[in-house]
Amino acid sequence: MFHRFETFKYLHTCVEVAQHVSSYPKELLFELYPVSDEEFESLLSTLPRRFGSMIASYVNGELVSEMASRRVKIPNPEHGASGKESIIDDTNYLLPENGGKMFVIAA
C-alpha cells in the first residue's frame, strides 16, 4: 500500500513520540524514542491501537538499527549452526609424519 508523505506527517502528529513510522500491508510500526521500560508501558496505554483498518505496533527504540547490528556480516567458521564454539580437529591421522598407518584386513 502506497502512502503519501502527508500521511506520515499526520501519523507523526498523532504519535509525537515516534522517531520513525513504517507502513506494512496491515500494520503501522512506530519506533519510539527510547525510554525506560516503565515509561514505555505507560505510553502504550495512551497510544492509538489502530489507524483505520491498520494495526498500530510500537517499539521502544529503533528496531531496524537494532536488527542490523545483530546480523552477521562474515560467518565465523569456529562456530557451528547452534552458535556454540565447534571443536575442529583438522589433523590428518593417516599422514606418515603423524604416525599414521593404514592396514588392510583381508577377509
Task: Give me the residues paired with residue 27 across strands.
Answer: 24, 55
DSSP 85: B
Predicted confidence at residue 104, as pLDDT, reads 64
Select the more confidently predicted residue: 5 or 11. 11
Predicted confidence at residue 1, as pLDDT, reads 47
Assigned C-alpha cell, 99: 604416525
Reported pTM? 0.56
Q: Is 63 exposed, middle or buried (0-12, 13-18, 19+ CB in 10 A)?
A: middle
Contacting residues for 81 by C-beta, under 8 A, at least 6 apart: none
Q: Where are any strands of DSSP class E within 14-63?
A: 18-24, 27-32, 50-51, 54-60
Chain segment 53-80, per-residue pLDDT in tens: 999 999 998 776 545 445 555 555 566 6
Select the more confidently predicted residue: 94 or 32. 32
- Percent of residues, the chain, with pLDDT higher than 90: 37
Which range among 16-20, 40-44, 92-96 shows the weakest confidence by mean pLDDT?
Answer: 92-96
Assigned C-alpha cell, 84: 556454540
Assigned C-alpha cell, 55: 494495526
Predicted confidence at residue 102, as pLDDT, reads 62
